[in-house]
A and B are shown apart, each in its own frame.
Chain A
Amino acid sequence: MAVVDLARTSRRELNRALHDLPADTNETLWRVENPAGQHALAAGLNAPVTVEIAGHAGYYCGGMNQRATIVVEGNAGVGVAENMMSGKVHVRGDASQSAGATAHGGLLVIDGNASARCGISMKGVDIVVKGSIGPMSAFMAQSGKLVVLGDAGDALGNSIYEARLYVRGAVKSLGADCIEKELRDEHRAELRGLLDAAGIGDEVSVDQFRRYGSARTLYNFHVDNAAAY
């Protein structure tokens, strides 16, 4: 296991070392000590390695991740796993705003709560939040799935496109063009798969969730819908 102590090594050196890894590296387990909330930790990775961050991360941890597994053993700042393409980012604590923003693929798991705009503009990522999420989450979400075991704040799924949202708790309010939809068997199977991937066992039943998605009434502009904008 490679250990990088950020009290003695700079973030630049850490990221450079991670970027320089060949695709078939044997150095597959990295541990980052004393992260102290630094920004852009393990951003831009492109190798199938696991990076454990032993503490809190600042903004954009795991940004644009490809293939790597990044575990934050504390809280994560704004934009964790933003624009992730593949791989996995797991936050053991809470996440700040814009978690998984515009991410195209991979899996983001947040054990705690996520703040406002979780999954904003998501483009294919799967996000599982074990706690609750803040307002304006999944704003303009295009595709992918967002699973929330707790509650959702105001304006969930505002201007949503084809992303699918599963919420177990209460939804304070739905945004424009977002509606509750029937939870069918294919959705139960999809949801079970996501819960399994996030390490959540049968103690959480898929039937406790409600599904939300786009009403598709605002897909083409019409003046009679102007009040919705």
Chain B
Amino acid sequence: MDIGNIPQTLPRYSTTFDPHTLAEIRRAAATGIYDIRGGGAKRKLPHFDDLLFLGASVSRYPLEGYREKCATDVWLGTRHASKPIHLDIPITIAGMSFGSLSAQAKEALGRGASIAGTSTTTGDGGMTPEERGQSRTLVYQYLPSRYGMNPDDLRKADAIEVVIGQGAKPGGGGMLLGQKISDRVAQMRNLPMGIDQRSACRHPDWTGPDDLEIKIEELREITDWEKPIYVKVGATRPYYDVALAVKSGADVVVLDGMQGGTAATQDVFIEHVGIPTLAAIRPAVQALQDLGMYRKVQLVVSGGIRNGADVAKALALGADAVSIGTAALVALGDNDPALEAEYNALGTTAGAYDDWQEGRDPAGITTQDPELAARLDPVAAGRRLANYLAVMVLEAQTIARACGKSHLLNLEPEDLVALTMEAAAMARVPLAGTDWIPGGGRV
């Protein structure tokens, strides 16, 4: 045997200690701090892609595409508010803060959403005139930090969203690192410039559902019972959290799954706390049904919604509307390959850039640097967002018509099957080709 000709084994990376994990260990050893980043969970999770629609054949009768109407409007906040929200489409823009995002990005979100006939949402840091001015319907977030919270803005809002948690970090507060604190951001938040701002993880003046009920009553009193009160929770124990939100008087429950994004938090939190959006919807719907409040208290689902199929699947599982954050930022121009050279200079690549906390976003979206922020044209970016929203609606309508539905909200779990056992169990729909729902479809 010729020893010299024996083939070499290829280097093989451990699946446990893969290159990303090795790099993270080295980074942690060098810096002494966990990785902080923006965005949502990046690893593969059970998701809407694991579901399929059953179009109509003989047993169901489809509607004609481009001819027969498939309505898309939705009412939110019909339980108590004298002025509920009526949206043209069941896709809203999720809360993202001024501070995390540039004023131009916030304005673009408002422009795009208004063209599309839907709402935008403020974030940690208060309401900006740019945002209010460009948003036909604006939801004002009431957050633990209460940065910039004031009754004048509360009354300017169309709805109030009491934020208890976020899908990317249920139980965690925010962290806006000092480098993104401009004069304006510092002033809005009553904090010195240049420091790391730790948003609280708990509301300062209530501690449980009984107190929350009284808090919501106070917000209604201050706004004369006009505005819908949303309660936003990060998906962890959706059955009980939704039931208690309803008990507390919520008009709308916003349920954010673990694929939901964040401005900046620990990577370990983003990847390891919370449950996937797919797994959260049915227990939430079950809670509403058990309380006799389904469709009376509306359910908005967010966390990794990307296209019209995701929208249709979330609605079919029981949501009244969905909300998008990360996808909206991509539509504005986030992670655009045209900026590849600049992403490379930041040590990353277009499509993977997530160091939003550093404030050096070449797309001018997740930054407070005036030069970078000026790169984003709010009019053009708003148009892109409106186009994207229109496409998602068209896609969802196409699917709904094929399932014989004249309104997107008529989609139902019976229109779906699952590709995997995990998805079948989580979504409580049968595994494709079977009538088997793992776990029997119970809570």
Contacts and interface: CB of A to CB of B under 8 A. Distances in A.
A120 interface: yes
B61 interface: no
B204 A102 contact: yes
A160 to B, nearest CB: 12
A135 to B, nearest CB: 14
B3 to A, nearest CB: 51
A59 B211 contact: yes
Contact of B150 (A59, A83, A121, A159): A83
Interface in B224-238: 224-225
B218 interface: yes
B200 interface: yes
A123 to B, nearest CB: 4
B291 interface: no
Contacts, number: 108
A24 to B, nearest CB: 18
Given A98-B205, A159-B198, A220-B178, A59 B151 contact: no
Q: Is the interface of B mostly helix, strand, loop or mixed?
A: loop
B56 to A, nearest CB: 50
A59 B221 contact: no
Contacts of B190: 104, 123-124, 142-143
B150 A44 contact: no
Interface string B4-41: 00000000000000000000000000011100000000
B380 interface: no
Nearest to A61: B218
Interface residues of B, number: 32
Nearest to A123: B190
A161 B189 CA distance: 12
Of the listed residues B189, B190, B191, B194, the one surrounded by the most CB atoms of chain A closer than 10 A to its CB is B190
Contacts of A63: 218, 221-222
Interface stretch (A8-16, A166-174, A178-186): A8-16
Interface residues of A, number: 43
A220 B205 CA distance: 26
Contacts of B32: 223-224
Contacts of B211: 59, 78
Interface in B289-312: none
A59 B218 contact: yes
B204 A219 contact: no
A219 B178 CA distance: 9
B151 A66 contact: yes
B240 interface: no
B145 interface: yes
A82 B205 CA distance: 8
A83 B192 contact: no
Interface string A141-169: 01100000000000000010110000000
30 contacts: A39-B217, A43-B222, A44-B221, A59-B214, A60-B205, A60-B214, A64-B222, A82-B205, A85-B150, A85-B151, A98-B204, A101-B146, A102-B205, A104-B149, A117-B204, A117-B205, A120-B205, A121-B145, A121-B146, A140-B198, A140-B200, A142-B190, A161-B192, A161-B195, A162-B192, A220-B195, A220-B196, A221-B196, A223-B32, A224-B32
Interface of A: 11-12, 15-16, 19, 39-40, 43-44, 46, 58-60, 63-64, 66, 78-79, 82-83, 85, 97-98, 101-102, 104, 117, 120-121, 123-124, 139-140, 142-143, 159, 161-162, 219-221, 223-224
